[in-house]
Structure 1
Amino acid sequence: MSEIPSADESTDRATAAARRVPLSRGLSTKLLLLTIVFVLLAEVLIFLPWIASYRLSWLKERLSTAAAVSIVLVQGEPASLSRAAQNDVLMAIGAKAIAVRDGGVSRLLVVAEMPPHVDEHVDIANVGLIEGMTGALDTLLFGGERMLRVFGPVGDSDKEFELIMPDYSLRNAMLIYSRNVAFVSLLISLFTAMLVYAAIDLIMIGPIRTMTRSMLAFSEAPDDPGRIIRPAARADEIGVAERELSQMQERLQKMLSEQKHLADLGLAVSKINHDMRNILASAQLMSDRLRQVKDPTVQAFAPKLLRALDRAVSYSEGVLA
């Protein structure tokens, strides 16, 4: 039959289990998770300017392509292009119409199907940081079925080019870019978190764990000199804490040793008191018998002997009690 553990053994097991910190609740795990969260938060804050810059660059690239096509068409005769050729040009750019403004006069060069309305106007030359970020988020979250009018100068040309285009191609490109940035950000976060975790674990968590183990071991056997922590030669707060802990353990061990010595001394005094009382009690019995002896010499010394024994008993009771 298996033995049923006693109450003390169950208490010791519960205490030992309470002293063991699970990995999920340890300082190292919390530090690792916090580092990942903070790095991801920083990446999110950096992502907004990135996605705004990517959106603006993508639109500039399309507008530059449209400008190159426009220059060719202006030098030639746009009306001579067939409908199929115009559709091919616009399909290659991903636009619905291309126009050029020169000297305040706007000229429609190529058009496939003019949309009934335009949802957003983007002036490439005057897009601020806040406007660019809000526009990028708007396209990324709610775009895909909108019509954009993108216009602005290209290069050193004094002409202003204009492009009418849907935003689904732009949104798809932004989604792919966001996915790549998110993947790279996650890798950077994990790598940074591991580096920070390793550094702080070596500098802080490791010494704290050592001090914790030392305190637990010292509490189990405070009279063992080998359980006193050996402080490292550090000049920072961890080094100060280790030295103070070592000195505190030494003082506590010395105090416990003195208390044990006093307890042993008290036990010895108590034993001496007990033995002394027994001896004096026997002497009193013998002195009482001496009173019954008729010898004059004995009768003369018996009272003195009794008084001496009484003083010895009183002294023993007063001092050794």
Structure 2
Amino acid sequence: MLNTLSGRFLILTIGFVMLAEVLIFVPSVARFREDYLSSRLERAQIASLALLAGETISPELEQELLRNAEVYNVVLVRDQTRQLALSSTIPAPISDTYDLRDPGGLELITDAMQALFSGGDRVIRVIGAPVREGGELIEVTMAAEPLHAAMIDYGIRILILSALISIVTALLLFAAVRRFLVKPIRGVVGAMQSYAAAPEDARRIIQPTAGVDELRRAEIALQSMQTQLTSALRQKERLAQLGGAVAKISHDLRNVLTTAQLFADRMEGSSDPTVSRLAPKLISSISRAISICESTLAFGKAEEPPPQLTRVMLADLVSDVLDGERLATGDAEISFAEDVPAGMSLRADPEQLYRVLGNLVRNARQAMVSQGRPGEIAISADETEADWTIRVTDTGPGLPEKARAHLFQPFQSASKRGTGLGLTIAQDLVRGHGGDLRLLDTGPEGTAFEIRLPKTVIRLDAAE
């Protein structure tokens, strides 16, 4: 708590408010002391009115008047004559004399601090001007103990009130700082942590939303830095793996053109009407080859374009993938199955998703053909409120231990014919969608991969 920005601000606010209250406390105590002594002078003047009227009072009444006024003696100066109006025995010598007729502010504060810290076991003389023109001067002697006790009580009440004001003020400021400063800062920190978790995901770059100018400038600067860093990371990765990148593109280009060649061979040797049915597939395969060539140009600039997200009917795309693989199966006893809801559509780049599924299905087919065993390759899909899930399963021999240890690393193929790039490419493309490709299970009974694509775009709300 104390190590947080809001916690330290709370402590500082309480301290500064208390300091302000202390600066107010000193003159307040001085004013209280002046009012207290002035009220004793006024009581003493009222108590002496009986003598001023020429009345004779008994000693008992005189002592009662002095007790009510809380003084020992009362002296009035009227018409240049000094009169001892009321008197009693003074228990101790007079230690200090205070003149309240025209005191200065500094004098009042000094006298108040002296009275507060000198104790109350003293007798003091107080001089003042009578009220309502009751004479030129009034003078009383009194014990300092009641004044000292009253000042202590007043000081305690002022300090308690000051503490309450400080705490309430600090809590209000604390809440305001957390709402308008700390939470936006936490939003920026959350954006930085989210970006650090996956700097290659451009969706995690912060979008400035702060209402405070300074924080908004910080968010804009962070956005610029993250954009440049993401670009630099991509460029560094491309430069470091330039050879691997060329091999990846050649791998996909070879596979797509191989499929096109199979379609062309079938059309060349056939005179039946299936030519009209296969022609669109040939055109589609050649178009994909052209798309990969265009991607090669962008890759050469160290800037692989992000996926162009559109709504894709998954059943149609899966059907295209499996149709191409059926032709490549030849005489092998391999069947293909699909379990995709007819109306299911997802948000993805159709060309990149085709490459992902094509790589997974092709790897499974090649593994089963190399073992000379029959089996089945299936693609299924479902969705939740959070994401779409696609599973590619086969009944092949499973992945060897060495392949599992380096599953998504380039040039780590499980077969002698492969280049070891299919899974690497697939994982890169899925990550570009903000999704995840993982191995669910593998063994003698077969292998299962799962693709998860998020439905929502990451959104960092700094205000919350």
Whether 1:206 aligns to 2:183 is yes
CA root-mean-square deviation: 2.0
Residue 232 of structure 2 aligns with which residue?
255
Structure 2, unaligned runs of 5 or more: 250-464
Per-residue displacement from partner, 1:187-241 (whole Å, max 9, x unpaired)?
1001111111122222222222222232233223212234322211536111111
Residue 3 of structure 1 aligns with which residue?
none
With 37-46 and 174-183 compared, the bigger mean Cα shift is at: 174-183
Residues 43 and 69 in structure 2, CA contact (< 8 A), matched pair in contact too: yes
Whether 1:185 aligns to 2:162 is yes
Residue 174 of structure 2 aligns with which residue?
197
Whether 1:160 aligns to 2:137 is yes
How far off is 1:171 after superposition? 1.1
Residues 70 and 99 in structure 1, CA contact (< 8 A), matched pair in contact too: no
Q: Matches of 1:143 and 1:225 in 2, distance apart? A: 74
TM norm structure 1: 0.72
Higher normalized contact order (CA 8 Å, seq sep 6+, divided by chain length):
1
TM norm structure 2: 0.51
Aligned pair count reads 248
Structure 1, unaligned runs of 5 or more: 1-22, 273-321
Letter in 2 for 1:194: L
Residue 16 of structure 1 aligns with which residue?
none
Residue 23 of structure 2, aligned match among 32, 45, 50: 45
Whether 1:141 aligns to 2:106 is no
Whether 1:125 aligns to 2:115 is no
Residue 126 of structure 2 aligns with which residue?
150
Letter in 1 for 2:21: E
Residue 55 of structure 1, aligned match among 33, 42, 45: 33
Distance 1:93 1:56, change over 3 A: same
Letter in 1 for 2:84: L
Letter in 2 for 1:83: P
With 205-214 and 121-130 compared, the bigger mean Cα shift is at: 205-214
Per-residue displacement from partner, 1:45-66 (whole Å, max 9, x unpaired)?
0011111111101111111111
Counterparts in 2 of 1:3-14, with a 5 A limit?
none
How far off is 1:36 after superposition? 0.1
Residue 49 of structure 2, aligned match among 71, 90, 93: 71
Residue 217 of structure 1 aligns with which residue?
194
Residues 234 and 240 in structure 1, CA contact (< 8 A), matched pair in contact too: no
Q: Write 1 or 2 for the structure with the bigger share of helix.
A: 1
Residues 92 and 123 in structure 2, CA contact (< 8 A), matched pair in contact too: no
Letter in 2 for 1:248: M
With 183-192 and 107-116 compared, the bigger mean Cα shift is at: 107-116
Q: Write 1 or 2 for the structure with the bigger share of strand.
A: 2
Whether 1:107 aligns to 2:83 is yes
Residues 36 and 193 in structure 1, CA contact (< 8 A), matched pair in contact too: yes
Residues 40 and 189 in structure 1, CA contact (< 8 A), matched pair in contact too: yes
Residues 28 and 201 in structure 1, CA contact (< 8 A), matched pair in contact too: yes
Letter in 2 for 1:109: A
Q: Matches of 2:246 and 2:221 in 1, distance apart? A: 37
Q: Matches of 2:101 and 2:243 in 1, distance apart? A: 96
SS in 1 for 2:84: strand
Whether 1:98 aligns to 2:98 is no
Letter in 2 for 1:188: I
Residue 290 of structure 1 aligns with which residue?
none
Letter in 2 for 1:221: A
Percentage of matched positions with identical amino acids: 35
Per-residue displacement from partner, 1:114-165 (whole Å, max 9, x unpaired)?
3552222111122211111121111112221121111111233133111100
SS in 2 for 1:113: coil
Residue 83 of structure 1 aligns with which residue?
59
SS in 2 for 1:81: coil
Q: Matches of 1:235 and 1:84 in 2, distance apart? A: 76
Per-residue displacement from partner, 1:247-293 (whole Å, max 9, x unpaired)?
11111111111222223323356999xxxxxxxxxxxxxxxxxxxxx
Residue 25 of structure 1 aligns with which residue?
3
How far off is 1:92 after superposition? 1.0
Distance 1:134 1:236, change over 3 A: same
Whether 1:35 aligns to 2:19 is no
